[in-house]
Structure 1
Amino acid sequence: MTSTLSSVELPREHAVSERGFLAVSALIFIASAAATVAWCDSMSAMGEMPMAWMPMCGQTWWSFAASFTGMWTLMMVAMMLPSLLPMLRRYRVALHVAGKPNVDAHTALAGTAYFAVWGLIGAMVFALGAAVAQLEMTWPVLARTLPAASGAVVLAAGALQFSAWKARQLAGCRAAPALGSTAWRYGLRLGMRCATSCAALTAILLVIGVMDLRAMPAVSAAITLERLVPAGDRVARCIGAVAIVAGLLQLASAVLP
């Protein structure tokens, strides 16, 4: 079904609509990537955790949480749009084939719902990061255990890449779009599937550094490859092998004198 939708030849007006869709997507990607780079530069100037997770002078926790969640969502737009774009296009083709009106509006609504899922995840990430930062400030000895804990997370994330659960989540991300639900529900469902599919890689990004401009494109490329290439399961296992080696090396450097 997916390959059939991808190969459908659309009328001229629909082809023009597709070019507009791609142009708008490119602008959104460029804007979100630029905002992400600016955010990471400003946050890196504040130093490492825990201070990077603390509100600035005169800023409330609520406003800081809202700012972080907003910028996290923008970052996810830049990271996830390359892998989301083919799915949104298939959704648009399915709408065109079914003769549905307002294809652009439906696409925008589905995309908004997809990134709303990532916004909610960003709020949870902020709560976790702020809690860890508070614990570090309360018990400084905890900071000495974090390198080993980070290595364990990377190791576990690599192992998860080999699981049947991971393969099922990837298959769910590639499933043909269903038109039996609203665009909002479709976007939410796709967002939840894709968020669970890349949970291991997201965990790796978090322990490496959520504001690391080298880690973000690497994780984004890994997510895009395992979702879009025909042998995605094999790519996921290769990524898992690299993560396992990296996790073991990090554990060894943290534990050995």
Structure 2
Amino acid sequence: MNLFNTIKKDQEYWLVDQVKDESVLDQEYIEAFSSLLEEWREKQIGYLSLLMDARYEEWLLNQGFRKVSTIVEYTRELNGDFTAESGISVEALADGGMADSDFAELYEQCRSGSANKNNLFTIEQVMESLENELGAEWRESCFVFRKSGVPIGLSIPIIEQGTVDEGRLFYFGVMPEWRGKGYGAALHRISLHLLKGIGATTYVGSTDEANHHMIGIFKRNGCVLRDRKGIYRIDR
């Protein structure tokens, strides 16, 4: 069993996420991650960002990690009817209605003012990671939401790496001037519909524990708390 999912970017970074399984002993996780950490050090990668259960925190701090924040994960089955909000249109970036540069600007505005503390990348790195992680057809996974023709948010629904039907949102965001008006929950429901359309049967969403607005969206759309993980980072 793979105990950690890892995304590697050349010599720049590793992003590591613990795959939690109650049947796996703590010592097994420590041994598996120790091996991974040793490899990271040997290859002299820029930094390693880790999502892992907080019960390993003291051990991780002793290994040289610093704690960034804590994320919460919410989940729900995608067995409902996610009716689209009236007056909101949805278009894929692949449809050609928006240039990549304009999409990057929309992405940057949507993430401005976020309560999430683990903002690792510049927008240039984000755009590069879309193709690296989603493949050459990445534009087909990027959706823009419009109200009266004006972009108000975006969503990037994907199937989680290593699964066949676990839906995730690579990114979800609402333009600052459209927040606090109920559109966040509406766009999130549309995103769940998009996930269902690509074959997802369950949804897992995560956000910083301080992002009360996003947590409220999860709850309004029927999601329940599944897990809590610490975010830790170590630099070369």
What is the TM-score normalised by the length of structure 2?
A: 0.23
More strand by share: 2
Larger radius of gyration: 1
Higher helix share: 1
TM-score normalised per structure 1: 0.22
Higher relative contact order (CA 8 A, sep 6+): 2
